[in-house]
Amino acid sequence: MNFHDFIRELNNFVIQYGPLGVFVISLVGNAIPYATVPYLAIIAAMATQMKINLIDALVWSIIGGLGAAIGKVIVYLTGLATSEVLPEKVRENMQIFARLAKRGIFIAIFLFAALPLPDDVLYIPLGMARYPLLKFFLAVWLGKIVITFLSILFGNAYGAVMSQYHISFGESAIILIILTVVLSAIIAKIDWLKVGIAISERGVGYATVVFFDELLKVLGIKKLIELIKGKKKEA
């Protein structure tokens, strides 16, 4: 089975089983630490072929978000199990980290879940630090609902583009996966520690400004603006 056939089979599975299919692929796509399957691209590809109304999109997002959150609980438990074999001093340090970061961690968990970030780098240490499981689950679920919903909306919109320009399913799936990887790479370069500190110290409004400042840095736009300003001063 080649790559196109594999993606098509996954897509057909999601279409055949509807919300259950979204639940299963979201669960599997999030349960393996540091090896997340690009399940959002598959959900978006499914949405390109189905005209999903707003209510159904919300229901599917809640169910898919639940599957993804359960998958991340497995990742969390991996960190928790790892903590059992760590030296006592390391476990104490992780618990101190959880207490110090208590104010901003819930929002950080939500943001990592709601954006295509390599979230296991945060979730495994939280398991090691024994961050409250219920709060962890709730933050991840809310975040995964958001990103699943956005993926479905994007898939619906992209389906219209596919029809207009006669893009095949195989080409569409590859494009969606490439877009997912590129977006993940961009977002992963953002200094999320700085954003998290901004949320904790000065609130969401200021953190939003910090986020866009970081985004401009990653995209090279800020450097370009500074270069243009420098040339104007020289002139």
Contacts of residue 144, defined as CB under 8 A and 6 or more positions apart, other chains included, come to 26, 30, 64, 65, 66, 68, 69, 72, 113, 114
Mean pLDDT for 132-148 is 94
> 130-135: long-range contacts at Cβ-Cβ below 8 A with a sequence spacing of 24 or more?
130/80, 130/83, 130/94, 130/95, 130/98, 131/98, 131/105, 133/73, 133/76, 135/106
Poorest-pLDDT segment among 18-27, 51-60, 119-128, 129-138: 119-128
62-103 pLDDT, tens digit per residue, is 999 999 999 999 999 988 887 665 555 445 545 555 554 555
9-53 pLDDT, tens digit per residue, is 776 777 788 888 889 989 988 888 766 567 887 888 778 777 788
Report pLDDT for 43: 84
C-alpha torsion angle, residues 146, 151, 157, 159 (rounded to 10): -150
Contact between residue 116 and residue 40 where contact means Cβ atoms under 8 Å apart: yes
Contact between residue 61 and residue 152 where contact means Cβ atoms under 8 Å apart: yes
Does 192 score more than 80 pLDDT? Answer: no
Nearest to 170 by CA among 27, 8, 2: 8
Report pLDDT for 194: 75
Contacts of residue 33, defined as CB under 8 A and 6 or more positions apart, other chains included, come to 75, 78, 120, 124
Q: How many CB atoms lie within 10 A of CB 158?
A: 19
